[in-house]
Structure 1
Amino acid sequence: MNKKLSLVGAAVAASLMLTAAAPAEARIPFFSNQQEMPTLAPMLEQATPAVVHISVEGSREVRQRLPEAFRYFFGQRGPNEYREERPFKGLGSGVVIDASKGYIVTNNHVIQDANDIEVRLKDGRTFKAKKLGADPESDIALLQIEAKNLVQIPLANSDKIRVGDFAIAIGNPFGLEQTVTSGIISALGRGGLGIEGLEDFIQTDAAINSGNSGGALVNLRGELIGINTAILGPNGGNIGIGFAIPANMMKNLVDQIVEHGEIRRGSLGIRGQDVNSELTEAMNLKVSRGAFVNEVLPDSAAAAAGLKSGDVIVSMNGNKISSFIELRAKVATLGAGREATLGILRDGSERTVTVTLRQSSSAQVAANQIHPMLDGAELSNNDGGGVKIETVASNSAAAQIGLLPDDVIVGVNRQRIANLAELRTVLEKRSGVAAINIQRGNTNLYVLIR
């Protein structure tokens, strides 16, 4: 054994002496001049022009605690806080998903409350962007710019990605444009984090920092697999735990905004919980992950499809379901009217059911997304046609022009409108004053907005 070690040591020493003695130009490179070094550069040259820099300006209502000295003048029942509008500026990222129509996807929190949205392309061109719609629950927003020669990024099927796949994040962290970081997919179907209302995140260790929000997470083909949206770390810094909204989830939401002018939230009509070890033992289940159905609501999509309490939903459209939170997010973002094939476990046997999702009762849109003078109202598509006023906040712009709950907007400038998408389109194309035709009970009236 000692003789072998001596021989190895002598060989290593000789190797080190030869290396030290050889001139730099004589050293053998790791890759020969004829051998191409592995690089992501060609893919990134195609993908990075589709990732844009977004800067916003606006104002937000800020609540401040009223000093005790001032409260004295109001008496003991005086207010303990006051509100004021404060200007703000922000930076983020976005992804061009349709070059011909100028569609750009970003996070809702990037452009929320913004009065002015500016998009800067990789080639240096800048454009004012128009907000077409947003979904605060899933943190997705759709913008549009009028520009030629845009580059769009192709979409991957995010349901097919796996833990361990390589991932590259492209964005503008801290305002540093066109920054690229790499890593792998660390986990799928992350939820219950309390970051968004609907969570079905891709987790990655590719470095994501402030300003990456709304940027692209791509695979090695340069296809979009997710929209970077959040990080987990002290003081907002990267610690290798970042989250992205899956591309399929984003596309479902964007399609709804384009088609309907709103998010038509899908509803299954069940109450349930995650499958855990206690439930598995108590119910003698053959699975350890999934969504357990506690109750099927009457007159719901689930009831019509034949789902029963005690069922365990283990897949949706061929993709595994790990938790009730993941199922809820997939159903809600797939949208009302869409069909879903659910794999269920019932009495120890596996079977599939097809369900047509119904519209959630919470499927409403803030009216300021349609027009500033409608601010303070919540709108939804009316079953009989037109746009229904669900609620009107007191002292809001909508209240001041005379809108009331249960009013139905049936036309603009004598042009009939059938839904929110048509209302948005007509108001965007108008010039000057718009006459909003309101159906209030058995009465027709007009409200003027500028």
Structure 2
Amino acid sequence: MTPHARHGLLTLLMLTTPLAACAQQAEAPAPVAAAAPAVAQSAAPQLVTGLPDFTQLVEQVGPGVVNVEAKIGSRASAQGEEGDIPEIFRRMLPPEFQMPGPGQGPQRRGGTSIGSGFIISADGYVLTNHHVVDGADEVKVTLPDRRELTAKVVGSDQQYDVALLKVEAKGLPTVRIGNSAALKPGQWVVAIGSPLGLDHSVTAGIVSAVGRSASPEQRYVPFIQTDVAINQGNSGGPLLNTRGEVVGINSQIFSVSGGYMGISFAIPIDLAMSAVEQLKSSGKVSRGQLGVQVGAVTADAVKGFGLPDNRGALVNEVLTSSPAAKAGLSPGDVIRSVNGRPVNDSSDLPPLIGAMAPGSKVTLGLLRDGKARDITVTLSELDEGTAARDSLPTAPERDATPAGRNPLGIQTQSLDANSRKQLGVESGGVLISRVEGAAAREAGLAPGMVVLQVGRTKVDSPAALDRELASAKAGDTVMLLVRVRGVTRFFAVTVEKG
């Protein structure tokens, strides 16, 4: 799992102190002559009444939890993208999966992957993680009664990190599926799995947060964050609520050591179960695609675009011939809702769209030029292989506009055909060749970047850029749509004073 920040060390210490119910008889005060009437005070409500006992839960659910053992051959894993996952975010890989030095992700090699799973139907369907069985030549499932059964991988999905297995058996004990959408921070949850090969280990904690976006590679998963102790081998095991219902699949941990550090992530069971029928029928999961790249609505974006607040997803790029392009979306739009469901942050959008079937019609609530409007979009099928990263070209020194022609102090030049091809810019835009303004440098602008728009207005020449910037006054925040290393996003630059 990969957040954008790849450097620095985050240390999170979580202390939980049980609050015990304690009643104490107060002594009646001695009478006081001429005392003022006492003001009645209502007692504060007791928020925590004691710690739960999970013994009955484990007795009921335990028979439906299994161990999963996958023999990984020497062939390359289909999940080579894991090399992009920062060191602090780790899937619960067993010792056979090496942890290299800083800056690298886990690398697979031949060996045995040991994880967990749970039975969802009496005729032998088992859910686990994709990364537990990815690249496996052989998969075996061990039941609580010690029976060892060969499992077939019916289907597997890397984005959701879910795999559906099938064993030939009948009358198997099953788990009950719960509702992950109803989870709230602070609720008790329990994990059952095989950490470090210790089968049917039970750990408990609380939900720390819901709807976490922990990795661009899994942007369609609104993870459940917990403080349940999870380690290698817990992958694929159930996360349970206090009614003994499965609400998540334990998948990843935050760690600088490879072991548990108080932050664990689980895949919502609603999401996993939505994929089960597709995995049964086709072996893969199809998702809806809107065709936009979005970013957060920052405080500078609120000022630069004149927005009422920072809620929503700012459209940075609209892919050519995508559903969004056909519906008329454009960079600078702010998506605030999908079919009436609020989009509070940019990370809320991908799970909402990805959970819908290709061909679905959705209504997007937008803010454009400060005005609210609705747009209907027909989703296409997501193609995971369409995104490409471009290299950053060296900006030539010829034909640059003189410094100081615009209040931001940036020199630009027109793009030639080779530069357009290298950058993936189809039309318009100007190449930054030099940055002299301190505010522009502090905002992150640098030579080699391409300015596509000023606000919502496209620019296709240095002169056009200067015209759009000419009216900017000291203290104004200017939003520049910029393409850099294959990614398009808005940069906010505040015009310097004299």
**TM bucket normalised to smaller:** 0.5 to 0.7
Partner of 1:40 in structure 2?
Answer: 54
Distance 2:321 2:109 in 1: 47
Distance 2:59 2:368 in 1: 50
Partner of 1:223 in structure 2?
Answer: 245
Are 1:136 and 2:166 matched, yes or no?
Answer: no
Of 33, 42, 51 in structure 1, the residue corresponding to residue 65 of structure 2 is 51
- Contact map agreement 2:219 2:350 (CA 8 A) in 1: no
Distance 1:211 1:309, change over 3 A: same
Distance 2:175 2:375 in 1: 35
- Contact map agreement 1:274 1:290 (CA 8 A) in 2: yes
Secondary structure of the corresponding residue to residue 211 of structure 1? coil
Deviations 1:40-89 (A, max 9, x none): 222332222222111121312479xxxxxxxxxxxxxxxxxxxxx96411
Aligned counterparts, 1:170-181, within 5 A: 170-181=192-203
Q: CA deviation at 1:165?
A: 2.1
Q: CA deviation at 1:143?
A: 0.8
- Letter matched to residue 124 of structure 1: R
Q: CA deviation at 1:359?
A: 0.7
Secondary structure of the corresponding residue to residue 177 of structure 2? coil
Q: CA deviation at 1:290?
A: 2.6
Name whichever of 48-57 and 336-345 sits farther off. 336-345
Deviations 1:385-414 (A, max 9, x none): xxxxxxxxxxxxxxxxxxxxxxxxxxxxxx
Are 1:116 and 2:126 matched, yes or no?
Answer: no
Aligned counterparts, 1:71-150, within 5 A: 87-100=110-123, 102-150=124-172
Are 1:246 and 2:268 matched, yes or no?
Answer: yes
Q: CA deviation at 1:136?
A: 1.9
Of 250, 253, 258 in structure 2, the residue corresponding to residue 236 of structure 1 is 258
Distance 2:382 2:122 in 1: 32
Partner of 1:396 in structure 2?
Answer: none
Secondary structure of the corresponding residue to residue 170 of structure 2? coil
- Letter matched to residue 118 of structure 2: V
Deviations 1:4-38 (A, max 9, x none): xxxxxxx9xxxxxxxxxxxxxxxxxxxxxxxx995
> What is the total number of aligned residue pairs between the two structures?
309
- Contact map agreement 2:313 2:346 (CA 8 A) in 1: yes
Partner of 1:360 in structure 2?
Answer: 382
Distance 1:159 1:137 in 2: 19
Q: CA deviation at 1:124?
A: 2.2
Distance 1:88 1:238 in 2: 23
Q: CA deviation at 1:155?
A: 2.5
Distance 2:122 2:285 in 1: 23
Secondary structure of the corresponding residue to residue 359 of structure 2? coil
Q: CA deviation at 1:107?
A: 0.9
User: Higher strand proportion, which one?
Assistant: 1
TM-score by length of 1: 0.61
Gaps of 5+ in 1: 1-10, 12-35, 64-84, 365-450
Of 305, 309, 312 in structure 1, the residue corresponding to residue 334 of structure 2 is 312
Q: CA deviation at 1:157?
A: 2.7
Secondary structure of the corresponding residue to residue 144 of structure 2? coil
Secondary structure of the corresponding residue to residue 253 of structure 1? helix
Distance 1:258 1:122, change over 3 A: same
Secondary structure of the corresponding residue to residue 234 of structure 1? coil
Are 1:288 and 2:310 matched, yes or no?
Answer: yes
Q: CA deviation at 1:92?
A: 0.1
Using the aligned pairs only, state the percent identity. 41
Distance 1:348 1:220 in 2: 46
Distance 1:185 1:210, change over 3 A: same
Aligned counterparts, 1:305-344, within 5 A: 307=329, 309-316=331-338, 319-340=341-362, 342-344=364-366
- Contact map agreement 1:199 1:326 (CA 8 A) in 2: no
Secondary structure of the corresponding residue to residue 301 of structure 2? helix
Partner of 1:60 in structure 2?
Answer: 74
Distance 2:379 2:76 in 1: 39
Distance 1:286 1:356, change over 3 A: same
RMSD: 3.2
Distance 1:208 1:146, change over 3 A: same
Q: CA deviation at 1:170?
A: 1.6
Distance 1:38 1:159, change over 3 A: closer
Of 300, 317, 322 in structure 2, the residue corresponding to residue 300 of structure 1 is 322
Secondary structure of the corresponding residue to residue 270 of structure 2? helix
Distance 2:379 2:265 in 1: 27
Distance 1:277 1:304 in 2: 30
Distance 1:303 1:153, change over 3 A: farther
Secondary structure of the corresponding residue to residue 131 of structure 2? helix
- Contact map agreement 1:265 1:333 (CA 8 A) in 2: yes
Partner of 2:222 in structure 1?
Answer: 200
- Contact map agreement 1:189 1:322 (CA 8 A) in 2: no
Q: CA deviation at 1:148?
A: 1.5
Of 295, 320, 325 in structure 2, the residue corresponding to residue 273 of structure 1 is 295
Partner of 1:419 in structure 2?
Answer: none
Distance 2:365 2:193 in 1: 37
Distance 1:220 1:160 in 2: 13
Distance 1:261 1:312 in 2: 35
User: Higher helix proportion, which one?
Assistant: 1
Q: CA deviation at 1:349?
A: 6.1
Gaps of 5+ in 2: 1-26, 28-49, 78-107, 387-498
- Contact map agreement 2:289 2:379 (CA 8 A) in 1: yes
Distance 1:182 1:319 in 2: 32
Deviations 1:87-122 (A, max 9, x none): 41121011222334x221111111112111111122
